[in-house]
Amino acid sequence: MLFFLGLVLFASWCCKAPEPAEAVPGATAQSYEGSGRVLSLSPRSVHLQHGPIGDLMGAMEMTFLLRDTLDSAAVAVGDSVRFRLVQTSSGGLQVVRMEQVRQEQSDLRKVV
């Protein structure tokens, strides 16, 4: 009987589903780097025309949420920017860092 109880406890421990990355202490969220041009901006979101973002997505226009602590006043509509995205717990993408770059430093490819 004790052997059976031990076997059941072991099976429940080893077959447990993995916890999401954000729930594991010390784990970091997946992040992606990109560059683009600001098409519109609000305190909570930014609409970008961006180049390819790694293997995540190709060049396109897209609106992203901004992290609450990000100062959207640091950039303006028309600015070329570099940015970092992280995946949120709901699966969306959020800009956690964004900085203005001079036009000649931008590696944005024209979106067609």
Reduced to 3 states (helix: H, G, I; strand: E, B; else coil), residue 23 is helix
Give the span between the Cα atoms of 99 and 35, in whole angstroms.
9
Q: Which residues contact 79 (CB under 8 A, 6 or more apart)?
A: 37, 38, 100
Q: Could you tell me the two tokens for 75?
A: 């950039």
Number of domains making up the chain? 1
Write down the pLDDT at residue 89: 85
pLDDT along the chain (112 residues), means of 10: 46 41 50 96 95 94 94 92 92 93 58 34
| CATH number for the domain harbouring residue 68 | 2.40.50.320
What domain range is 81 assigned to?
Answer: 28-105
Write down the pLDDT at residue 51: 97
- Tens digit of each residue's pLDDT (9 = 90 or more) over 60-88: 999 999 999 988 888 999 999 999 999 88
Write down the pLDDT at residue 21: 35
Phi, psi angle pair for 92, to nearest 5°: -80, 175
Q: Is residue 5 part of a domain?
A: no
Q: Is residue 21 part of a domain?
A: no
